[in-house]
Amino acid sequence: MTRVFSGIKPTGHLTLGNYLGAVRRWVEVDQYGTDALFCVVDLHALTVDHDPARVRRLTRQAATLLLASGLDPELCTLFVQSHVDEHARLSYVLECVATDGEMRRMIQYKEKAALERGRGGSVRLSLLTYPVLMAADILAYGTHEVPVGDDQTQHVELARDLAVRFNQRYGQAFVVPRATHPKVGARIMNLQEPTSKMGKTDDVGPGIVYLLDEPDVVRKKVMRAVTDSGRDVVYDREERPGVANLLEILAACEGGNPEDLSGAYESYGALKKDAAEAVVELLRPVQERHKALCADPAYVEGVLRLGAEKARGMARPRVDAAYRAIGLLSS
Ligand code: ATP
Ligand code: MG
């Protein structure tokens, strides 16, 4: 059976980008007919300046929102990364296979390190080694497919490289995974800065739609989205990134194709109005279920406890085998 693994960081409130680029596919496609694990990757949230209480709160909130989005614990395994020691155990071994040059070439490292330095902070070593821990997250489970947004392609490539290198040097231990992306919505852009990805830790708040935004807040953000000069509605990501992003959002919400949709609009205003309503309708059931789940925190905790137990059982034999293969004595 195909093994699927993916994760989300509790670094901020979940966004429309997270939902359209990753979570919705997990819910609608990946949890069916596969052996899927989904993880709130809290260790990754410690790689940048963080408030401990906030990370704990966001971890619980992310798990609750994943359930509210429709992940079904009967169909998949949902857990918190730090509850399963195997991730950190394997990460160290993979650090002995990866090189520092490989880490420094990672686009996300360069971007996030520049951001930290720009804010006057220092760069944590864990930000540099983050992709190795992510490779461990994936490889520990013998993962075949990693459903992610566009921005994670390079990290999944690294996981592939490390798997191949380890297998060649020390014997077959890991499955070589591949990234999968949704056809539409793999890179949702910030509404105020349509040349930058919408990210939950961005500074440009009004350009980010959060899953828990009230309908009127969603409407306001979408109606105020930066559009391009020119007036006709065409789908051109290079020349007209603002309009292309709105078309992409509308198409992703309605299951259509952004290029086809562009012909249906004569003004930016009409497009914004439809995109805003489509997002409001998309989020409505998620928000309703989230409210209900917040009233039952014991249920969410139970799901995570069981998920961690299952995940531990799946990861341990492979990580133990990798320890032996690389030269460590069994205990
Ligand atoms: P951060 O700014 O902390 O990196 P993020 O919003 O990028 O936050 P992640 O936890 O890094 O969120 O990513 C979770 C998943 O959401 C990944 O699969 C990632 O590719 C996807 N994703 C993130 N942002 C977008 C986006 N704007 N469009 C599509 N997919 C996205
Ligand atoms: Mg990210």
What are the pLDDT digits (tens) for 125-142?
A: 999 999 999 999 999 999
Strand order in the sheet with 178-180: 77-80, 35-40, 3-8, 145-147, 178-180
Q: Is the CB of 148 under 6 A from ligand 1?
A: yes
How many Å apart are CA 37 and CA 32, to the nearest integer? 11
Active-site residue among 110, 183, 197, 291? 197
Residue 204: pLDDT over 80 = no
Residue 196: pLDDT over 90 = yes
Residue 119: pLDDT over 90 = no
How far, in Å, is the centroid of ligand 1 from the Cα of 274? 24
Angle in degrees, CA 5, 43, 70, rounded to 5: 40
Catalytic annotation on 197?
A: yes
Percent share of the chain, pLDDT over 90:
93
- The confidence band for 314, taking pLDDT boundaries of 50, 70 and 90, is very high
Give the predicted TM-score (pTM) of the model. 0.96
How far, in Å, is the centroid of ligand 1 from the Cα of 9? 8
Instruction: Give ipTM to 2 decimals.
Output: 0.99
What Cα–Cα distance (Å) separates residue 146 from each residue in 180, 219, 275? Answer: 6, 32, 28
Residue 201: pLDDT over 90 = no
Question: Which SS3 state, helix, strand or coil, does residue 168 take?
Answer: helix
Active-site residue among 110, 200, 272, 310? 200
Instruction: Note the pLDDT of residue 292.
Output: 97
Residue 294: pLDDT over 90 = yes
Residue 111: pLDDT over 80 = yes
Q: Residue 188, annotated ligand binder?
A: yes
- Better-scored residue on pLDDT, 202 or 264: 264
How far, in Å, is the centroid of ligand 2 from the Cα of 89? 23
From the CA of 198, the nearest ligand is 1
Domains within the chain, CATH numbers bracketed: 3-181+297-326 (3.40.50.620), 205-291 (1.10.240.10)
- Are residues 96 and 162 in contact, defined by beta-carbon separation less than 8 angstroms? no
Protein residue with least CA distance to atom 13, ligand 1? 8
Residue 179: pLDDT over 90 = yes
- The confidence band for 331, taking pLDDT boundaries of 50, 70 and 90, is confident
Q: Residue 138, annotated ligand binder?
A: no
How many Å apart are CA 265 and CA 259, to the nearest integer? 11
Q: Residue 137, annotated ligand binder?
A: yes
- Work out whether the CA dihedral 165, 166, 170, 174 comes out positive or negative: negative
Instruction: Note the pLDDT of residue 176.
Output: 98
